[in-house]
Chains A and B, each alone.
Chain A
């Protein structure tokens, strides 16, 4: 074999590849979806559930039909979105708008200078309550929020002859009655892919007993998880553990929903998004009650997670995206969104009409009565702290007698997150 001949052939082949390679690169760079057309802002959306996806698409369509600036929406799986958000934000050509929630994660990005200051959008939002303003800072525009509570089926409660409780004593008595009828009183759904549902119990016990300010300080690392005040909230929790679904840490949220709808469990502490998991004919039969008051001296706090949009500081479409944010913050924009959604979220604009079902109206009043609104464990702390809570609380549900060591481990894990 002639080696020189061989080298010549390979060199020629290599050169050919190089040429075709660069040619295809050049064409793709100009035709790729990243090279956005001038004037169209893109929204990177994590609203991948069918109902939520339809809602944001309806909002975008209504906005584009006004013949002003144009936006397009790009939906990716919420899990993909969560893991890829840092690389979206730091890329040279990021999407212009993002769906998200306010919280410490957003503050971190803001401090790094990755988020756009949208204070001038807030200029148009004068009638928004101060609470939303404080929550959002300069970089976030809230559009919807929802509430948490013990959801149950009215027909089941009627069949069992029970009524929603108000105080802790009534709540425990209700659990006793239901257990006497062979029903598991409390669903949980902290298994499978939804261990975070257990955090809602933790949040509520903490804001009912220690109050919302302490809760926020605890999640921000200014208090300790092995504090006696934290330990105290597990005492009432232990009291209702015998009434909690023994499969609570085995089945996920969606299955727990089914169990409650079928009447195998009596009620479920969950968010209003739960209606998405219910069959349509059951929705009118669903009602909820407030997490019972344990200490009447503690100002009433409720979980009211808020969702909305923020923008990238590197966006070349500042004018367009601000026009969209302004629209999304109006009563009109939020009504369009709600009409297309599954209908259990609330508009943040005080003048916007909700979907008007009795359930939603009750939910809105439910949050209005609260003196303090918390977001949810991961939103008030961070997505990094959430797994430490999941580990601790699932272990508590399984082995409640190990509480001291669980809290000590939790504090250690949390310190690692806070110092990272």
Chain B
């Protein structure tokens, strides 16, 4: 009986949860004339994949490539830097390391909106405004604090004996980092990589702050650019959203196993 109630409630919630996604998918395969004549909420009376083609040729393809060009190096760089920082902060007696960690955490509590103008001026000053390099630098900079904080918590939980044994075997700090600590941190790294990928891929704010040419815009601002001043082709926008969601879904599915184990390992210590 209680099982049946559970299924009914959980099923209803799942349906409600999936409804917007279904709505987007349905809109994506309708024609503009159908939407304009019958409304967004009406039962579809057309089926066409033209929206996907439109979204792809209307800047979608290059935007997707730009997103990849930003996201992959950013994820790689920020995890490399923050794991090195976390290693130092968690395994060595660095003076004032508590303060450093707290400072990194505090930086995360700062709302990014108040930094928009300084960041865009700084990018200009460095001569990297309107380039993907600027976006990568900004994303790495803003991600670093959080990733370091998570990773150092994870690394601190590693038994000291492992490190001592490696030291006795003659391994230096770099070797220990590379051959002992990093492999052991893999679940946390994988989880963070999946998270970071989603965040950076879906970012809009920094992209429109440091970029202004449509040729370098990543996917999210490109999607926004499909909206007209007065009139929007909802089928093209919906199709574009579906295309834009594919990489994040793929990455999540690929890293799902690590994601769950990564979080769980952190939880039990």
Q: Which residues of A contact B (CB under 8 A)?
A: 1, 3, 5-6, 9-10, 13, 24-25, 28-29, 31-34, 42, 44, 46-50, 52, 74-80, 83-84, 87-88, 91-93, 95, 253-255, 257-259, 261-262, 271, 273-274, 276-282
Contact = CB atoms under 8 A, between A and B. Distances in A.
A96 to B, nearest CB: 13
Contact of B227 (A24, A34, A77, A84): A77
Interface string B203-235: 000001000111111000100111111111110
Contacts of A47: 229
Nearest to B33: A279
B36 A5 contact: no
Given A32-B128, A49-B231, A76 B37 contact: no
Contact of A77 (B39, B93, B221): B221
Q: Which 5 A-B pairs have the closest CB atoms?
A: A49-B228, A279-B33, A29-B127, A32-B131, A276-B231
B230 A48 contact: no
Given A1-B92, A25-B133, A279-B33, A75 B173 contact: no
Contacts of A29: 126-128, 131
B225 A48 contact: yes
B44 to A, nearest CB: 14
Given A28-B128, A29-B128, A253-B230, A1 B167 contact: yes
A282 B36 CA distance: 10
A276 B227 CA distance: 12
A1 B173 contact: yes
Classify chain B's interface size: 35 or more
A10 B84 CA distance: 9
Nearest to A270: B230
B96 to A, nearest CB: 14
Nearest to B164: A1
Contact of A48 (B91, B130, B227): B227
B215 A33 contact: yes
A28 B226 CA distance: 28
Nearest to B31: A279
A72 to B, nearest CB: 9
B128 A77 contact: no
A280 B33 contact: yes
Interface in B90-130: 91-93, 117, 120, 124, 126-130
A281 B214 contact: no
B212 A44 contact: yes
Contacts of A261: 36-37
B130 A32 contact: yes
B45 to A, nearest CB: 12
A48 B39 CA distance: 22
Contacts of B124: 91-93
B12 interface: no
B174 interface: yes
Contacts of B214: 74-76
Contacts of A254: 231-232, 234
A44 B214 CA distance: 9
A193 B172 CA distance: 60
A18 to B, nearest CB: 13
A84 B212 contact: yes
Contact of A279 (B37, B130, B172): B37
A49 B130 contact: no
Nearest to A10: B88
Nearest to A92: B124
B114 to A, nearest CB: 15
Interface string B44-62: 0000000000100010000
